[in-house]
């Protein structure tokens, strides 16, 4: 995946895993295509009303969001260590999350499972975006453009996890490098 284009969904700091996918929705089978898409339907359904505002992440009975990237603040994915959080965002159609920082377990779950690309940025940018802004993310160059506002931001390098992300998760990476059969 080199270029991601679409709309951004903007959040603040300390978005926890209960807000990303509430525990009540952890009942669906992840290996059943019909059931697993329900994780997308309920992604971000735990956000407080004042955070959701008037722009729903998922509309009505849909399972996939109109958004492709989440732009957020510090400590994204804090709270419990549920592996379902990055899965729910992937099922909802999110390709990448851009955050100032992540809770370590969310970051590892996102990378290891190959669910989405967790980019970090060394500055606060979620205040420079609005939900529905058109964005373009160049994953090769690590550049995020806010097309709507004409701004561009350099993301932190993925470092050692880049090969795992590009392989689609730790198991795919291990298979490709003959670490497991």
pLDDT tens digit sequence for 11-22: 999 999 999 999
54 Cβ contact list (under 8 Å, min separation 6): none
Give a yes or no: residue 55 inside a domain: yes
Yes or no: say if 166 and 138 are a contact pair by the CB < 8 Å rule: no
Give a yes or no: residue 180 inside a domain: no
If one counts the domains in the chain, the total is: 1
Give a yes or no: residue 106 inside a domain: yes
Helix, strand counts (H, E) of the chain: 7, 7
Give a yes or no: residue 164 inside a domain: no
**Residue range(s) defining the domain that contains residue 139:** 3-156
Find tokens 């291990």 and name the residue.
174
Write down the pTM of the prediction. 0.94
Local structure of 135: helix, strand or coil: strand
CATH of the domain at 128: 3.20.19.10
Give a yes or no: residue 83 inside a domain: yes
Mean pLDDT of the chain: 94
Give a yes or no: residue 181 inside a domain: no
pLDDT tens for 91-103 read 999 999 999 999 9
Mean of pLDDT values over 124-147: 96
Give yes or no for residue 50 having a pLDDT over 90: no
- Hey, what are 13's tokens? 């700091």
Give yes or no for residue 1 having a pLDDT over 70: no
């Amino acid at each position: 995946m080199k270029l991601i284009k679409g709309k951004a969904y903007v959040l603040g700091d300390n978005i926890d895993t209960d807000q990303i996918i509430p525990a009540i929705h952890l009942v669906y089978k992840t290996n059943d295509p019909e059931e697993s898409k329900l994780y997308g339907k309920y992604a971000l359904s735990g956000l407080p009303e004042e955070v959701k505002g008037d722009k729903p992440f998922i509309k009505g009975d849909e399972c996939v969001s109109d958004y492709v990237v989440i732009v957020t603040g510090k400590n994204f994915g804090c709270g419990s260590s549920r592996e379902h959080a990055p899965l729910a965002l992937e099922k909802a159609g999110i390709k990448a999350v851009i955050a100032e920082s992540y809770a370590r377990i969310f970051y590892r779950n996102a990378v290891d499972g190959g669910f989405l690309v967790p980019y970090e940025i060394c500055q606060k940018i979620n205040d420079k975006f609005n939900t529905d802004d058109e964005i373009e993310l160049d994953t090769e160059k690590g550049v995020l453009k806010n097309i709507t506002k004409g701004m561009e931001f350099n993301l932190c390098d993925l470092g050692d996890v880049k090969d795992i992300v590009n392989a689609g998760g730790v198991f795919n990476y291990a298979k490709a490098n003959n670490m497991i059969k």
